[in-house]
Amino acid sequence: MPSFCSFLVFEPSQAELVMSLCRCIGWNVRFIPDPSKRFKFHKHGHSEVSQPGALADFGALGVSESHGQLLVVEAERTEANNIIQLIHAAGVVIDGFPDQKVGDPSAFEIPDDASEQASIFENIFQTTGFFERFSFKAQRPVAVAMAAKAWSNKRTVYAIHKLAKSYETEAITPWSAHPRYGQIFEKHSGEFSDHVRSSIAINLAFSAIEEMKLEVKSSRERPRWLDNKKYTWNPAVLDDIASRLEKAGIDPEKTVDWVVRGDTTEVAMQPVRDRFSTYSDGQKVRDIELSIPDAIHACTYFRNSMTAHAFGKETPLLGPYEVYNVQQVARFLVLSTCGLFDVWTEDLLTETAGRKSAPAPSGVC
């Protein structure tokens, strides 16, 4: 079976957890010492170098320091690429922002011959162009868990890839949407290419929701609203989306904060709700609290009315905050469907340690 370098580096203490996650889904993987030697791990965190020419200055390992562990996938090339690329895409979804430092996530075949391996490790992996592809993220084990959870369901796999591609098309950092910063970005742009990019990002994020079958379903015969002025839900339509949310493990009563910043210059939104978030000031921070069904409908409204078809007069009013909102709704649904919303590497490590201390039920990894 061919072996492929993933360029995914893990802290040594994470290796056992990642191996367990991969074994449970049937992936044939192993770890080798990171040949790039780009990262040093110690009890206070890690350090790294950005260029291979700086390795000599990086120095030898100190006391209690270690290099990372590199994930190697043993599979045919297409399957290896699918595994590695899905972990990469899941990482983007978890972060809610693409890592500009991470390059091509495709696999690189490693020969069986030890001397050939050594030559590649030194003369290729430690040179500009390949060295930069080696990456470490503290929360990557959660990305592995998400990829493993999604692996048996192509719709979830596609949802993860679509949402990751949405973030890679256009995104703002999650911290920049924090209410303490108010409005950081211009509400919209006058440049035509920006309108197209924002629309593509919204379409991809909404398509991720559709992949999970969590869009709101209505028709002329069964309209979404009983009252188009107050946006009163048709009980039959609301019960349907609530049922599908519950089946996916999501509480339909849960709310999300829809980010609305600055002066009232953004595109009008449906449904109209007057439930300001607890931290809103009604001026620079006008964030709204929406139920999950309301939030999904708001995403639908943007996609159906402004981005999926020929552009109208309101499409140029879309901007970074509308893109962020649709992406965040899709992100919440993807993470929740995978059972990983608000789950961190530390939680997975604690859970694994708990399972090791107790006998596992028959048939459980």
* Domain annotation covers residue 311: yes
Contact between 91 and 143 (Cβ < 8 Å): yes
Domain count, the chain: 2
pLDDT digits (tens, 9 = 90+) for 155-187: 999 999 999 999 999 999 999 999 999 999 999
Which H or E run includes 22? helix 15-25
79 and 211 together in one domain: no
215 and 114 together in one domain: no
pLDDT value for 140: 97
283 and 266 together in one domain: yes
**Separation between Cα atoms, residue 331 and residue 326, nearest integer Å:** 9
pLDDT digits (tens, 9 = 90+) for 29-88: 999 999 999 999 998 889 999 899 898 888 788 888 999 999 999 999 999 999 999 999
287 and 141 together in one domain: no
Which H or E run includes 82? helix 77-95
* Domain annotation covers residue 238: yes
165 and 135 together in one domain: no
Q: In a 3-state reduction of DSSP, which class is residue 333? A: helix
Model confidence pTM above 0.85: yes
95 and 133 together in one domain: yes
- Single-letter amino acid, residue 247: K
pLDDT digits (tens, 9 = 90+) for 90-136: 999 999 999 877 767 889 999 999 999 999 999 999 999 999 999 99
pLDDT digits (tens, 9 = 90+) for 200-214: 999 999 999 999 999
46 and 172 together in one domain: no
**Separation between Cα atoms, residue 121 and residue 241, nearest integer Å:** 52
**Separation between Cα atoms, residue 189 and residue 187, nearest integer Å:** 7
41 and 123 together in one domain: yes
221 and 95 together in one domain: no
Last residue of a domain, one of 152, 170, 187: 152
68 and 167 together in one domain: no
184 and 319 together in one domain: yes
81 and 210 together in one domain: no
Domain extent at residue 72:
3-152
